[in-house]
Structures are given as structure tokens and as C-alpha cells.
A and B are shown apart, each in its own frame.
Chain A
């Protein structure tokens, strides 16, 4: 087949296109090779997951050890059931606790794992026993406001009592 200089340029053009797509896929997008044979899942149930989303990171001591792969509502007990897919090289003891934390004040939420002390490790599919829910800022403020108001009422009542007994 006859080759011409135009073929060369078109070849270069297509190669640039392939290189661009590869760059976008590997360097720009988060294409983490999901080695499924080398990962395992754990279940964590929370009363309230706040703003946790699927694909949120699971961290232990700040190191990403896996991702949240699924979130659903347990329709029997009405708790949120999060499936954590962890990297196979990390193992956690049976009394590991999971909590939902927030990166920074307004950052994304992630699951933090704190290693326990037991010898035996969690097996794939196990449920984490110790979990603590997400800190929901509105509830926190609500509680604070209520206790603040109660405190004021008590102070007012004490003042009134003091005023009655004084004379």
C-alpha cells in the first residue's frame, strides 16, 4: 500500500488523540485499578450517616484504606447500612470501631476506622460492632440551644427563688 506524508500526519493526529484520552483517564480522572480479588467488604451500621456518600473514602489514622461501596437503609431496623470495600492488605481486629468524620469544617465526610486490641481479625462480610454516627451540625446546634435555654430558665428560677427567700 502506498504511503504518503498525509498518512503520517493523520497517524500523528490520531496518536495525539489517544494520548490525550489516556492522559485524561489516568492523570485527571480517578481511575484506581479496582483489584476485586484483592479487596474485601465489611458492613457498618449507623443510626445516622449524615452526608456520607458512596465512594467516600474509608480512612484509618488518616490513610485511605478503602471506599464506601454501597449505602442502603435496613428496612427492618431502620438503620443505615454502609458497605465498606477495603484493600486486602489491611486487616482490622474484631473490636475495630467505625465513625463518620468530616474533613475540615465543611469538607466531605468519610468513615474513620480505629483499630481495636483483639487478636482476631474481622473476616470479609463481617459487621463492625462499634459504630458512632455522623455529627449533624443542625442537631448539635439544636441541642446547644435547648440546653442554653434550659440553663437560662434554671438561672431565672434560681433568681426568683433567691428573691422570694431574701426578705
Chain B
């Protein structure tokens, strides 16, 4: 009887301790990656390969989503702004919302689901097929050979993808605002330039995406490395990557925004 009542409590305590445990392991993992980065940066070809898989292959989804997000912003922004007779400010609205929030956050969410999950699955599968152990046996450190290049590739790719997302979004807003609705082109750009600050908006947005890159890739490689070496384990690790990354991105976004703006 008492046992039944206490079960949920015990479960809560268990998962809390587990989460804290995981946080500790993850921090140690990050330190290990940084410690082994020297080797992997020395053999930069490995990192280049991973940039190709994580970054270049994400281009399509980033370009298309960015364009459509910008177009939707243009439409919705125009509808709302024209009610207040300030449709001129559309350029500023599109640029600011993309640069400050939507660009870094959406690009990071897409990156987590496109590349983060792939990284987890790949590393998890390597673990399941005992390739990582084989490496250790051959005196090749799997963190230096497998994990660190992927980590740095993610950190390099993320800001680039976010910047591209912003550019495509602004282009989408331009398409809807100027080409479709017929706002004045000069006003669109000048309002944007008057209201966007290089350091405050552009650079801070990129710093945000750099942090997201670190967080997402760390979660992805960690979950892969930590996965139970079975088919089910790898698949649940992949799911965990996407879920945890999404939550961490949104929480981190709040914290970074509070710091920056």
C-alpha cells in the first residue's frame, strides 16, 4: 500500500538523479572532445567531410524553409501593419524578427532534426556494430576520430546555416512585400537598414546560433555515444536527440535573449 503511494515519488527522484548524472557525464564528454580537438583539427579532412554531411546537405531544407518563413512573415506582417497604417515598416519587421529570433531558432531546430539525428544514428550504429570498440582496440581514440570532427563540423555549420536562413527569409519577405503586394522597394530596404543594427541584431543573432550549434551537436554526439548498442537503443537515442535539442534550443534562446537584448 505505502509502496504504491511512494512509487511515483521514487520515480521522480530516480529521474532527477539520472538527469543530473547525465549532465555530469555530458560535461566530462565536452571536456574530452575539447581535449581531443587538437588531433582532429590536425587532420582537418575529417572535419571537412562532416561539414559536408552536416552543413552542405542541410542547405536545401534551410533555403526552402527560410524562404517560406520569410514569405509568411511578409504576408502576416503586412496584414497586421496595414491595419495601423504602417505597412512601410514591413522590411524592418521581417528583418528584425528573422535576425533576432526566427533565424537562429528555426535553423537550429531544422539542423537538430536533419543533422543532429543523423549524427546520433550514425554514431549509435557504429557503437552497435562494435566499430567504436574496434577502434579502441587499434589504439585509435573514437572521440578524436569520430566524435570531435562531428562536433566541430556542427559548430562551424550552424552559424552559416542561420545566416543563410536569415538571407532567404528576408528575400522571401521582399518577394511578398515588394513583388507581390507592391510596397515601395526603396522604403522596404531603407526601413530595414534604419532599424537593424549590425552589432546588436546581426552579430548577436550569429552568436546565438553558435551557442545553438554547440548545444545541438553536443547532444547529438553524446546521445549517439551513449546509446544502448541495439536497434531499439539507437532509435530511441535518435528520438531523444531531437526532443532534447528542441527543448534546449528554446530554453537557451530565452536565456541568451535575456542576456543580449
Residues of A within 8 A of B (CB): 6-7, 9-10, 12-14, 16-17, 20-21, 23-25, 27-31
Pairwise interchain contact A30-B55, C-beta atoms closer than 8 A? no
29 CB-based A-B contacts, threshold 8 Å: A6-B48, A6-B52, A9-B56, A10-B51, A10-B55, A12-B56, A13-B51, A13-B55, A13-B59, A16-B160, A16-B164, A17-B161, A20-B166, A21-B163, A23-B167, A24-B99, A24-B163, A25-B198, A27-B193, A28-B95, A28-B99, A28-B170, A28-B192, A28-B196, A29-B193, A29-B196, A30-B196, A30-B197, A31-B198
User: Chain A residues with Cβ under 8 A from B28's Cβ?
Assistant: none
User: Chain A residues with Cβ under 8 A from B201's Cβ?
Assistant: 29
Pairwise interchain contact B164-A20, C-beta atoms closer than 8 A? yes
Residues of B within 8 A of A (CB): 48-49, 51-52, 55-56, 59, 95, 99, 157, 159-161, 163-164, 166-167, 170, 189, 192-198, 201-202, 206
**Number of A-B residue pairs with CB-CB distance less than 8 Å in the complex they form:** 68
* CB nearest neighbor in A for B156: A14
How far, in angstroms, from A7 to B46 measured CA to CA in the complex?
A: 11
Cβ distance B165 to chain A, nearest Cβ, rounded Å: 9
Cβ distance B191 to chain A, nearest Cβ, rounded Å: 11
Cβ distance A8 to chain B, nearest Cβ, rounded Å: 10
Cβ distance A26 to chain B, nearest Cβ, rounded Å: 9
How far, in angstroms, from A17 to B196 measured CA to CA in the complex?
A: 19
The secondary structure that dominates the A interface is helix
The secondary structure that dominates the B interface is helix
Cβ distance B77 to chain A, nearest Cβ, rounded Å: 15
* CB nearest neighbor in A for B57: A9
User: Chain B residues with Cβ under 8 A from A16's Cβ?
Assistant: 59, 160, 164
User: Chain A residues with Cβ under 8 A from B157's Cβ?
Assistant: 13
How far, in angstroms, from A14 to B201 measured CA to CA in the complex?
A: 21
A20-B160, A20-B164, A28-B202 are known contacts; what are 5 more A-B pairs with Cβ within 8 Å? A14-B51, A24-B99, A28-B192, A28-B196, A30-B198
Pairwise interchain contact B202-A29, C-beta atoms closer than 8 A? yes
User: Chain A residues with Cβ under 8 A from B192's Cβ?
Assistant: 28
Top 10 A-B pairs, shortest CB-CB distance: A17-B160, A20-B163, A29-B198, A30-B193, A20-B167, A29-B196, A6-B52, A13-B56, A9-B56, A20-B164
* CB nearest neighbor in A for B59: A13
How far, in angstroms, from A85 to B152 measured CA to CA in the complex?
A: 44
* CB nearest neighbor in A for B160: A17
